[in-house]
Amino acid sequence: MRWARKISDWIIREPLLAYGLAVANFIGFVIGTVFWYGDFFLTAGPPLWSFPFIPDCPLAAGVFSLALIQQHRGRSNNLLNQFAGVFNIKYGTWTMTFWLLYWTRTGDYNFVSLLMFATHLGLTIQGLLILQYLHAPNLRDTLIVFAWFVLSDIVDYAPIAPGRGGYGWYPPLPLGTQLVPPMLAHAVMMSWLLNGILLLRVMIQRMRLGKLQRAQG
| Domain coverage including residue 155 | 2-216
Element (H, E) at 2: helix 2-13
For the question of whether the overall pTM of this predicted structure is more than 0.85, the answer is yes
**What is the per-residue pLDDT for 3?**
81
Measured CA to CA, the distance from residue 39 to residue 35 in angstroms comes to 8
Tally of structural domains, the chain: 1
Query: Cβ neighbours of residue 136 under 8 Å, at least 6 residues apart?
Result: 205
Q: Quick one: pLDDT at residue 194? A: 97
Burial code (b: 16+ CB inside 10 Å, e: under 16) for 6-15 equals eebeebbeee
pLDDT in single tens digits along all 217 residues of the chain: 688 888 889 999 999 999 999 999 999 999 999 999 999 998 888 999 999 999 999 999 999 999 999 999 999 999 999 999 999 999 999 999 999 999 999 999 999 999 999 999 999 999 999 999 998 778 999 999 999 999 999 999 999 998 888 899 998 899 888 999 999 999 999 999 999 999 999 998 888 877 777 777 6
Give residue 108's identity as a one-letter amino acid code: D
pLDDT value, residue 217: 64
Contacting residues for 14 by C-beta, under 8 A, at least 6 apart: none
- Residue 213: its pLDDT value, please? 73
What interhelical angle do 180-216 and 139-157 show, nearest 10?
Answer: 170
Other Cβ atoms closer than 10 A to 67: 26
